Protein backbone atom coordinates (compact mmCIF):
# COMPACT_ATOMS: atom_id res chain seq x y z
CA UNK A 1 0.00 0.00 0.00
CA UNK A 2 1.43 3.37 -0.97
CA UNK A 3 1.84 6.21 1.55
CA UNK A 4 -0.65 8.30 -0.42
CA UNK A 5 -3.23 5.50 -0.28
CA UNK A 6 -2.65 5.20 3.47
CA UNK A 7 -3.08 8.95 3.86
CA UNK A 8 -6.46 8.89 2.12
CA UNK A 9 -7.62 5.83 4.08
CA UNK A 10 -6.61 7.36 7.42
CA UNK A 11 -8.19 10.69 6.48
CA UNK A 12 -11.47 8.92 5.62
CA UNK A 13 -11.60 7.18 9.01
CA UNK A 14 -11.52 10.45 10.99
CA UNK A 15 -15.29 10.83 10.93
CA UNK A 16 -15.71 11.73 14.63
CA UNK A 17 -13.27 14.65 14.63
CA UNK A 18 -14.64 18.18 14.92
CA UNK A 19 -12.26 19.35 12.20
CA UNK A 20 -9.93 17.47 9.86
CA UNK A 21 -7.52 19.07 7.43
CA UNK A 22 -5.15 17.19 5.18
CA UNK A 23 -2.42 18.41 2.87
CA UNK A 24 -0.04 16.30 0.82
CA UNK A 25 3.30 17.95 0.09
CA UNK A 26 4.82 16.84 -3.21
CA UNK A 27 7.91 17.03 -5.38
CA UNK A 28 6.43 20.19 -6.93
CA UNK A 29 6.56 21.73 -3.43
CA UNK A 30 10.17 20.50 -3.07
CA UNK A 31 8.84 18.53 -0.12
CA UNK A 32 8.75 14.94 -1.33
CA UNK A 33 11.14 13.66 1.37
CA UNK A 34 9.80 11.80 4.40
CA UNK A 35 8.16 14.28 6.80
CA UNK A 36 8.59 17.00 4.13
CA UNK A 37 12.07 17.90 5.39
CA UNK A 38 12.86 19.20 1.91
CA UNK A 39 10.76 22.33 2.40
CA UNK A 40 10.52 23.14 6.10
CA UNK A 41 9.46 26.75 5.42
CA UNK A 42 6.37 25.56 3.53
CA UNK A 43 5.58 23.01 6.23
CA UNK A 44 5.80 25.62 9.00
CA UNK A 45 3.70 28.08 6.97
CA UNK A 46 0.97 25.46 6.44
CA UNK A 47 0.96 24.45 10.11
CA UNK A 48 0.92 28.09 11.29
CA UNK A 49 -1.93 28.92 8.94
CA UNK A 50 -3.92 25.93 10.19
CA UNK A 51 -3.30 26.88 13.84
CA UNK A 52 -4.45 30.45 13.13
CA UNK A 53 -7.58 29.10 11.44
CA UNK A 54 -8.35 26.80 14.38
CA UNK A 55 -7.79 29.64 16.88
CA UNK A 56 -10.22 31.79 14.89
CA UNK A 57 -12.85 29.05 14.97
CA UNK A 58 -12.41 28.66 18.74
CA UNK A 59 -12.72 32.44 19.25
CA UNK A 60 -15.86 32.59 17.12
CA UNK A 61 -17.41 29.68 19.03
CA UNK A 62 -16.50 31.32 22.36
CA UNK A 63 -18.00 34.67 21.27
CA UNK A 64 -21.18 32.93 20.16
CA UNK A 65 -21.47 31.14 23.50
CA UNK A 66 -20.93 34.41 25.40
CA UNK A 67 -23.68 36.11 23.37
CA UNK A 68 -26.02 33.29 24.33
CA UNK A 69 -24.91 33.50 28.00
CA UNK A 70 -23.23 36.84 28.84
CA UNK A 71 -22.20 35.55 32.29
CA UNK A 72 -20.25 32.64 30.75
CA UNK A 73 -16.49 32.96 31.38
CA UNK A 74 -14.33 33.23 28.27
CA UNK A 75 -12.82 29.90 27.19
CA UNK A 76 -15.34 27.79 29.12
CA UNK A 77 -16.31 24.56 27.39
CA UNK A 78 -19.17 22.21 28.05
CA UNK A 79 -17.30 18.96 27.58
CA UNK A 80 -14.05 17.45 28.86
CA UNK A 81 -12.49 17.26 25.39
CA UNK A 82 -12.74 21.04 24.95
CA UNK A 83 -15.59 21.09 22.46
CA UNK A 84 -18.58 23.24 23.30
Give pLDDT tens digits for 28-60.
888 877 665 678 888 889 989 988 888 887 777
Domains identified in the chain, total number: 1
pLDDT of residue 80 exceeding 70, the answer is no
For residues 18 and 50, the model is more confident at 50
For residue 13, being part of any structural domain is answered with no
For residue 81, being part of any structural domain is answered with no
For residue 14, being part of any structural domain is answered with no
For residue 15, being part of any structural domain is answered with no
CA distances from 20 to 12, 23, 24, 50 (A): 10, 10, 13, 10
For residue 45, being part of any structural domain is answered with yes
For residue 32, being part of any structural domain is answered with yes
Give the pTM: 0.57
For residue 50, being part of any structural domain is answered with yes
For residue 17, being part of any structural domain is answered with no
Range of the domain at 46: 22-68
Amino acid sequence: MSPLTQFHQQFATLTGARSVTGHVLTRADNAQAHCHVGNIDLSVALISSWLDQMAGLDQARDQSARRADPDRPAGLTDSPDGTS
